Amino acid sequence: MSGWTSANIPDQTGRTFVVTGANSGLGAEAATALVGAGAEVILACRNTVKADAVAQRLGPKATVAKLDLADLASVRSFAESVTGADVLINNAGLMAVPLQRTADGFEMQIGTNHLGHFALTALLLPKISDRVVTVSSGLHQLGNLQLDDLNWEKRRYNRWRAYGDSKLANLMFGLELAHRLRDAGSSKQSFVAHPGYAATELQGRTETVMDFLMKLTNKTPMVQSAAAGAWPELYAATMPGLESGTYYGPTQFFGLHGAPGRNRYKKIADDASVRARLWEESEKLTGVTFDVASAG
């Protein structure tokens, strides 16, 4: 995989991908690369106006569907509309936003980044033939999941810790899904990826001075393009012969940029008991029973 870029994606003709948050940033770049490799791509987005512009640029292989991960009714409606796909890429996300609540009362970051994708994957998995890729972040290292307070109702809100929690939850969910699929004897796979430090619209929504500082940082050589940031999720989504449950990210400059490869992650993510508790709490909060065995 040394030097791997999106130009190395195998031919994807005849395959269908669902990419959440494909209206901009990593998602739009992933969709662009996949269509370029011959795939059909469903751009699952809250902002369908932006998504329509991306789809128009990509041509007839790209279609747009409404999906608001901060609203479980929208998640269910979208899942019902999908007839089938080969790969689901859980790409959409928010970073370090002020305290807000989703339509179902969840803290916005855990609700959008993790719980929305958890419910979506549960509902779509029977229709997915190959694999699921969930996008985490190197900032999952900031996470310290409080499983009795995922929605920050008891703690004083910290937007960066909440982001870290949501990305740690993404990582643990992807690893646990791989474990459960394997135990169920399923041929389906689950991977986790992170983009390193890539310049996207994700930076700029904290409503603090950090927005200005991050925009300045985005112009420095240490930050890679959104197209390069999408490489790890594209690698995990398209390459044959990968080991389910692997965490992929950039391999250069402390995991901030470069070609994708295996990355290390926070040790707590290997704790099967914590992963199981997160799974159970996610089922409870979303009201979605995630029975991997029955998903085929």
List residues with catalytic annotation. 163
Start-to-end Cα distance in the chain: 30
Inter-residue contact 244 to 178 (CB < 8 Å): yes
Inter-residue contact 113 to 221 (CB < 8 Å): no
Token pair, residue 88, equals 């689901």
Q: How many CB atoms lie within 10 A of CB 274?
A: 16
